[in-house]
Amino acid sequence: MKNQIIPVLILAILISGCGGQQSPKKMSIAGEAQGTYYAITYYDVQERNFQPMVDSLLQSFDQSVSLWVDQSILSKVNRGDTNVLLDTTFLYNFILSKEISALTNGYFDFTIGPLAQAWGFHRKNRMELSQKQIDSLRNLVGYKKVRLEGGRIVKDDPRMSFDFNAIAQGYSVDLIADMFDKLGLQSFIVDVGGEIIARNRKPDGKNWIVAIETPTESKTDERTYEVTLPLENLALATSGSYRKYFEKDGKRYSHAIDPKTGYPVDHNLLSVTTLAGNAALADALSTALMVMGLEKSIKLLENLPDVEAYFIYWSEDNTYETYATKGMKALIEK
C-alpha cells in the first residue's frame, strides 16, 4: 500500500505544477508601413510572433486606401473608376470621413485631394498657385458633393479626389488592435507613425506610458517631450505643423490645408494631441482641430464628452503655451 501511495502523490504534485498559470512574456515587433514606422509591444503566454500577420494586414490595407499604390481602391476611385469594388476598409474610411466632415463643419474634409496635390503634399514638385487657381481647385472640394449609392461612389464632379491620410493611419492601428483582441491578447500597445492605441494595462498592473512631443524650431531637431500620460483602452493621435511643412520665400507652410480657404493653415497652433476611443477618430479629429485653431477647437470639444485634447501654441510674446481639456489634465496629473 505504501509503495502505491508514493507514486500517486508524486503524480499529483507534477500535475499541480504543470497546471500553474504561466506568466505572459513581453514581445516586441517593429517594421515599416505607409511611409512610416510601426512599433508594437504585446504580452503573450505562448510567445507567438505576430509580425507576419501584422505585415500582411498592413500590405492589404495599402491595397485599399493608399494614395501611393497605383492600383489601390482609393487610387482607382480618384481616377474615376466607377466599377471598382469597394472593400470594408475603404467603406469604413469613407463613411467615418463623411461623419467627421459634418461634425467639424467641413474643417476636416477628405475631398481635399486636388488641393493637397497642388500644394505638393502628394509629390515633390509644387505648383505656383495663384488665388484664381486656388479658387478653381476649391470647387472640387466638398464632402457634401460625394456620396455612396448602390455600393458605388458618386461624385458631383468626376475630377474630385479623396485623401484619407488624416484618418487611414489611425484606422490601421484599430485593425491591428482588433486582430489582437481576436487572438486573445489582453495587454498590448500599437504605434503606427505616432497613432497609438493601448489595451488594458501591463500584466504587472502598470500603465502604458506615452509622451507628447515638445515643438521644435526645425523638423530635424532632436525630439524631446512635453508631458507623459498613462494610456489604457484609449487611442492617441497628434497633428503638428512644426515637423510636417515646407518652406517657400522664407515662410513655412503647414501640411494641414484649410478646406475653406484652400491654403495651408497659418495660425499660432503648433500641435494638437487627441484622445478618443479609437485611433481613426483620434487621428481625424487631431487634424480637424489643427485646422480649426484653438478657439474653434475648444468650442467643438465642449460637445464631445468622450474626446480629450492637448494643444501647444505660440503666444503673443513668441513663446509657446499649452491648453488641456479637463480630462486630459486629469490624466497628465496622475
With cell 507613425, the residue in question is 193
Q: How many helices (H) and strands (E) does the chain have?
A: 10, 14
Q: Any bridge partners for residue 240, and if so which?
A: 271
Question: What pLDDT score does 251 carry?
Answer: 52
Contact 245, 126 (CB under 8 A): no
Cβ-based burial of 203 (10 A; exposed 0-12, middle 13-18, buried ≥19): middle
Contact between residue 34 and residue 68 where contact means Cβ atoms under 8 Å apart: no
Task: Quote the pLDDT of residue 123.
Answer: 53
Q: Are 173 and 192 in contact (CB under 8 A)?
A: yes
Neighbouring CB atoms inside 10 A of 162's CB total: 24
Q: If we measure between CA atoms, which residue out of 182, 195, 175 comes closest to residue 61?
A: 175
Region for residue 213 given its phi and psi (left: phi exceeds 0; alpha: psi -120 to 50; beta: otherwise):
beta
3-state secondary structure 310-321: EEEEECCCCCEE
Structural domains present in the chain: 25-69+161-332 (3.10.520.10)
Give the global pTM.
0.88
pLDDT at 158: 96
Query: Grid coordinates in use for 330?
Result: 486629469
Position 16 scores a pLDDT of 41
CA 123-215-282 angle, to 5 degrees, is 70
For the chain, 334 residues long, the average pLDDT of each consecutive 10-residue run is 41 42 92 93 97 98 96 97 95 97 96 90 63 94 96 96 96 98 98 97 96 71 80 95 52 74 87 97 96 95 96 85 95 85
Q: What is the pLDDT of residue 220?
A: 57
